Structure 1
Amino acid sequence: MEVAVLDINGKETGRKVKLSKDVFGIEPNNHAVYLDVKQYLANRRQGTHKSKERAEIAGSTRKIKKQKGTGTARAGSIKSPVFVGGGRIFGPRPKDYTQKLNKTLKRLARKSALSIKAKENSIVVLEDFNFDAPKTKDFINVLKALGLENKKSLFVLGDTNKNVYLSSRNLKASEVITSSELNTYKIINANNVVFLEGSLEGIESNLSK
């Protein structure tokens, strides 16, 4: 699969890059994509939720009324869950939501996600560029030139580029990452994936293993 290389003005440079069939042209495995996205979202959960149960509530332990003769239900402690301010029954407790997947499955999921984007013609290859200083306006101009101003876009750089990253940071619909940070969730979540030329070699070599 050949894709034309564009410049930051959205025009073809006259060069083309050939995307590896082993990475961008496989038969997508939807279940692998599902498992990898599920793991990514699960691993982002902090799991610090907690509510106080009966034994953890601060309060008197004396019996609040006599056992019989009141005409109401018996009650032993003000910390009972049936009273306002009492403990919570079966409340949430801290939990580790971390999941594990083997490397082969994660690699398959990423290749599947990239192949899905390739079939949808949602992959753009851009020549390497840089800004003289971090300016959101400059990055917006690149988005306009590529027709991605109102779409979710993911820019994949070969190496860390502070000026490009800071220029995009205020834009909710766009995200800039390096090739080493690429994952299945980010690929699927974006409408278009924009690869800078310098990122393709590293991605293809890592996913072709």
Structure 2
Amino acid sequence: MEVAVLDITGKDTGRKVELSNDVFGVEPNDHAIYLDVKQYLANQRQGTHKSKERAEIVGSTRKIKKQKGTGTARAGSIKSGVFRGGGRMFGPRPRNYSFKLNKNLKRLARKSALSIQANDNNLVVVEDFNFDSPKTKNFVNVLKSFELDTKKSLFVLDGENSNVYLSSRNLKNSKVINSSEINTYGVLNANKIVMTESALEGINSHLSK
């Protein structure tokens, strides 16, 4: 599959690049996509939820009523979860939600996501670009050139590009990442993916293994 190379104003440069069938032309694997997205979202969870259990409640330790003869259930502590103000039974505890996935599966999931976006014509390849200084206005102009100012977009660059990254940081619908940081959730969550030529080469070499 060939796609035209554009400049940052959205104009055709007259050049074309070939998208590797090994990366952008695979048969999408829905289950691999599901697992990779599930892992990504699980890794975003802090897992710091915690409620107090009966051992952590401050209160008297005396037996609150006699064992027999009251006609009601026996009770030994005011800190029991059955009483108001007592500890919570089986409440949430801090935990780590992350889990491991096979590298080959993650690679398949990312190739599947890129193939879906490429087949839907949601992939744009642009010349390598940079800004002289970090200014949000410069990045907004780029978005307007591609009619992405009201849509979710993912810009994939090659290497560290602090000026472009800082220029996009205030815009909630746009995200700038390095080619090595590409992930299934980010690819599928964007309406359009804008990728530089050098980033395309990096993705091809990284995912074609």
Query: Normalising to structure 2: TM-score of the pair?
Result: 0.95
Alignment of 1:38-77 (within 5 A): 38-67=38-67, 73-77=73-77
Aligned match of 2:175: 175
Root-mean-square deviation over aligned CA pairs: 1.4
Aligned match of 1:83: 83
Amino acid at match of 1:3: V
Q: Please state if 1:24 is matched with 2:24.
A: yes
Give 1:31 shift: 1.0
List gaps (5 residues or longer) in structure 1.
none
Give 1:68 shift: 5.2
Aligned match of 2:151: 151
Amino acid at match of 1:65: K
Give 1:6 shift: 0.9
Amino acid at match of 1:51: S
In the alignment, the residues of structure 2 paired with residue 66 and residue 208 of structure 1 have an alpha-carbon distance, to the nearest angstrom, of 74
In the alignment, the residues of structure 2 paired with residue 29 and residue 71 of structure 1 have an alpha-carbon distance, to the nearest angstrom, of 63
Q: Deviations over 1:154-178 (max 9, x none)?
A: 0000111001000000101000000
In the alignment, the residues of structure 2 paired with residue 207 and residue 44 of structure 1 have an alpha-carbon distance, to the nearest angstrom, of 24
In the alignment, the residues of structure 2 paired with residue 85 and residue 72 of structure 1 have an alpha-carbon distance, to the nearest angstrom, of 20
Q: Deviations over 1:112-159 (max 9, x none)?
A: 000000110000011111111111111011000001111110000011
Give 1:76 shift: 2.1
In the alignment, the residues of structure 2 paired with residue 92 and residue 136 of structure 1 have an alpha-carbon distance, to the nearest angstrom, of 42
In the alignment, the residues of structure 1 paired with residue 39 and residue 70 of structure 2 have an alpha-carbon distance, to the nearest angstrom, of 55
Give 1:198 shift: 1.3
List gaps (5 residues or longer) in structure 2.
none
Aligned match of 1:115: 115
Runs of 4+ aligned structure 1 residues displaced above 6 Å come to: none
